[in-house]
Amino acid sequence: MHIPDGVLSPSTCAAAAAVMVPIWWTAARKLKTTLGAKQLPVLALGSAFCFTIMMFNVPAPGGTTAHPVAGTLLAILLGPWAAIIGVSTAIAIQALFFGDGGVLAYGANSFTMAFVLPMVGYAVYRLVAGKSSNASNRRALAAGVGSFVGINTAASIVGVLLGIQPLLFRDASGHPLYFPFGLNITVPSMLAAHLLLAGPAEAIVTAMVVRYMQRTGYTLYGCATEATADQNRSRRWESLWVGILAMIALSPLGLIAQGDAFGEWNAEDIRKVIFKVTGQSFVPKGMAHLQAMGYHPLSILQDYAQSGSSANVPGYIGAGILGVSSILVVVTILGRRLTKSEQAHYVHGEPNPSLTPSQSSGGLPIWLSASNSDEASHLSAGKNNPFLQRTLAELTSGTATALRADRWANQSGYLQTLNPAAKLAGFLVLLITAAVSHSLAVLAVLLIFANVAAYASGIPVGVLNRRVLLSAPLFVGGIAIPLMFSFASPGHPLVVLWHSPYVAVTTEGVSAFTLLILRVAATVAMAVLLTMSTPWHKLLAAMRSLKVPSIFVALMAMTYRYITVLLQTADDMFTARKSRTVGRVRDAEARRFVGNGIGVLFSKTLALTDEVVAAMTARGYTGEVKVVAQSVWQRKDKLWIACIFITAIALTLGEHYHG
């Protein structure tokens, strides 16, 4: 569900961030009053927990696996405000270190995964749970239903964000500037994947974790037994708040419900909706321009229909969805292959079945003293449980990435000698330049720059490029490939694949494809290069000196710190499970293991939180973050930032004038 950079227009990103700022602010204020000095450690460990379980794999129907998003779960356990901050922090670290989700798209990703998902999920949970007691089955069921609705709502909002891109942003000749496919494709494909696969997995796991926590006697958020009248009043206000925010979150869905066939809007419809929402009359310039030129939002499909055999539009929509989803699946599998081969050494580590007979005396139970080597030898340990392998492989590589992040950051090279704040600002400028660029030349220049800078800093160019290729573009690869063909980009045929129905690779298609891939690659390269050349603690200091609120920087710092602890714990848990796995693991059993595992991890997180709170208090922490002095900017740093600005402006202007 992570949107990478380069597929949303910068204005969409800015709008989403603008929506998130007051939400973060409200959440932070609420938490400050409820948690007091414990705020930082509780949220940091909550975020680290959230990050860790987002790395788990849950068996989903059809032999696939899905990652839990955990927002609803976090809201049920720690409250919706903590969930907003927790998931936001987790995806910030994913974006910075793992190339999962964009840096500019951070606001949009936060909106869907950290706001819509937990708020809607929690509201539905509260509705279904009613006044049932902390330990009731109804609450576990409510958790399942809530998380299911939450994840599907969030997925459709992602669909909306992607789908409005071609409606709002096209170039003079009618080609989409950013994401190419409309609502009629994005919303159904996002929904299909989540209704059928990720949603059920998320629901079952959430319900099971809640069940587990109920059994340990944990008090779910908002379930305190001795609530006084005063608390009740604030609770009521809180549910009102939750309701209002959930409605805001859901409002984009209203956009879809408008009209009888969504996706088939024209400028007039958009004007109506925009007027309704903002009270202002406005039509995206691009659209008015397009319609004057005779284009319609559905032009892609209409072209397809004209050149094809029949004019059955729903059929084409279906075909489009099917095509996009199947390509997504193929690319995802290929991606897994790539990641897997990197850790081939890890995946095979089956328990040794040939046990030596142990002493039968000495008070040992008799069954323990009998050898079971015959029995064990014909069991295919771990073969049929990809979820274990996959989770382990991902946890291991995640731990490795987190732990060895500053392998190159500490050597001496050009980028490493720059002031981190200057470097951060510079890369941000370059990232924005890449994200707004529509010129192959500009993007190529930026990519070449990234490679040269990496080379000058002793960072292996191969490693940089592999990280760029492995992270976000997989997502775009799936979406961009259909762009090459005539049904998505009608135009001059390059290779005709099929005559009836007509399918060809077009010149326009290839250039649209290359542009999208290069743009995403360039943005990812900037983020990756920044984190590869800067030690984490210096990056934090840089954020502070660029006036990022110190509580947020402290939260990121502590979250990252405890991600390493929790990842290790989770890794140990899965390894232990694997070493005790003999024979086939059924999906249901695997899901139960993940559910209980998350529960155990949460209990451990709680215990660790108490200890961290104690350790911080013992050293005089009272809730106020204090930091040591900052580093200064040198001539070299000013020179660097000046060069970056000049280059960025030159590239952007050059593109503007020369097309």
Partner 1 sequence: MASSDPSVAVLPLFKLTDVTFRYADGQVALNGISFAVRPGERVALLGANGCGKSTLLKILGGLQYPASGQVEGFGEPLTAARLDNEETAQIFRRRVGFVFQNSDAQLFSPTVADELAFGPVHMGLSAAEVEERVSSVAALTGIEHLLARAPFQISGGEKKRVALACTLATNPDVILMDEPTAALDPRAQTWLLDLLLKLHDVGKTFIIATHDLETVSQIADTVVVFREDHTIAAVLPASQLESNMKLLVQVNLVHDHLHRHGSTLHSHPHGHGVEHTHDHEEPPHQEV
- Residue 504 bridge partners (DSSP): 496
- CB of 226 vs partner 1, minimal distance in Å: 13
- Supply the minimum distance, in Å, between the C-beta of residue 48 and partner 1: 11
Strands 58-59 and 65-66: antiparallel
Q: How far apart are CA 349 and CA 515, in angstroms?
A: 42
Site string for partner 1, 438-477 (x = CB under 8 A): ----------------------------------------
**In 3D, which of 478, 324, 325 has the Cα closest to residue 4?**
478
Cβ proximity to partner 1: between 36 and 259 the closer is 36
Structure tokens at 111: 């909106």
Q: From the list 281, 377, 412, 622, which residue makes contact with partner 1 (rule: CB under 8 A)?
A: 622
Closer of 236 and 404 to partner 1 (Cβ): 404
**AA letter at 167:** L
The answer to whether residue 628 forms part of the interface with partner 1 (CB under 8 A) is: yes
Can you tell me which of 18, 368, 403, 653 binds partner 1, judged by CB under 8 A?
Answer: 403
Nearer to partner 1, 208 or 556 (CB): 556
**Cβ proximity of 404 and 569 under 8 Å:** no
Nearer to partner 1, 266 or 617 (CB): 617
Helix or strand run (H / E) with residue 232: helix 229-257
Give how many residues touch partner 1 by CB under 8 A: 34
408 touching partner 1, by CB under 8 A: no
Stretch that binds partner 1, among 63-71, 111-119, 253-261, 613-621 (CB under 8 A): 613-621
* Only segment of 71-79, 148-156, 583-591, 620-628 that touches partner 1 (CB under 8 A): 620-628
- x/- mask, partner 1, residues 555-584, rule CB under 8 A, reads --xx-xxx-xx-------------------
Contact between 615 and partner 1 by CB under 8 A: the answer reads: yes
Taking contact as CB under 8 A, which single stretch among the options 16-24, 128-136, 201-209, 623-631 is the one that binds partner 1?
A: 623-631
Nearer to partner 1, 165 or 559 (CB): 559
Closer of 29 and 537 to partner 1 (Cβ): 537
Per CB under 8 A, the list member of 6, 41, 286, 323 interacting with partner 1 is 41
Q: Which residue has the tokens 């974006």?
A: 95
Q: In whole angstroms, what is the distance from residue 345 CA to residue 229 CA?
A: 59
For partner 1, which residue of 292, 344, 366, 629 counts as binding (CB under 8 A)? 629
Asked if residue 632 binds partner 1 (CB under 8 A), the reply is no
User: What Cα–Cα distance (Å) separates residue 126 from each residue in 206, 250, 390?
Assistant: 14, 17, 34
CB of 608 to partner 1, least distance (A): 6
β-pair type (58-59, 503-506)? unpaired
The answer to whether 69 and 154 have CB atoms below 8 angstroms apart is: yes
Q: List binders of partner 1 among 211-240 (CB under 8 A).
A: 217
CA distance 395 to 573: 11
Torsional sign, CA 622, 623, 624, 627:
positive
Among 241, 295, 455, 621, binds partner 1 (CB under 8 A): 621
Helix, strand and coil content of the chain, in percent to the nearest 5, comes to 70, 5, 25
The token pair at 189 is: 């494909």
Least Å distance, CB 556 to partner 1, is 9
CB 502, CB 129: distance < 8 Å = no
Q: Is 363 in the site for partner 1 (CB under 8 A)?
A: no
Q: Classify residue 195 by its DSSP letter.
A: I
- Give the angle 221-227-233 at the CA atoms, nearest 5°: 90
Single-letter residue type at 295: Y
Q: Which residues contact 135 (CB under 8 A, 6 or more apart)?
A: 214
Q: Binding to partner 1 by residue 540, rule CB under 8 A?
A: yes
Stretch of 154-162, 321-329, 389-397, 554-562 contacting partner 1, by CB under 8 A: 554-562
296 interacts with partner 1 by CB under 8 A: no
For residues 161 and 402, which CB has a smaller minimum distance to partner 1 in the complex? Answer: 402
Strand blocks (E) in 242-321: none
Give the β-pairing of 503-506 and 493-498.
antiparallel
Structural element, H or E, at residue 17: helix 10-35
Give the interface with partner 1 as residue ranges (CB under 8 A).
41, 44, 217, 402-403, 406, 410, 535-537, 540, 557-558, 560-562, 564-565, 608, 611-612, 614-622, 626-629
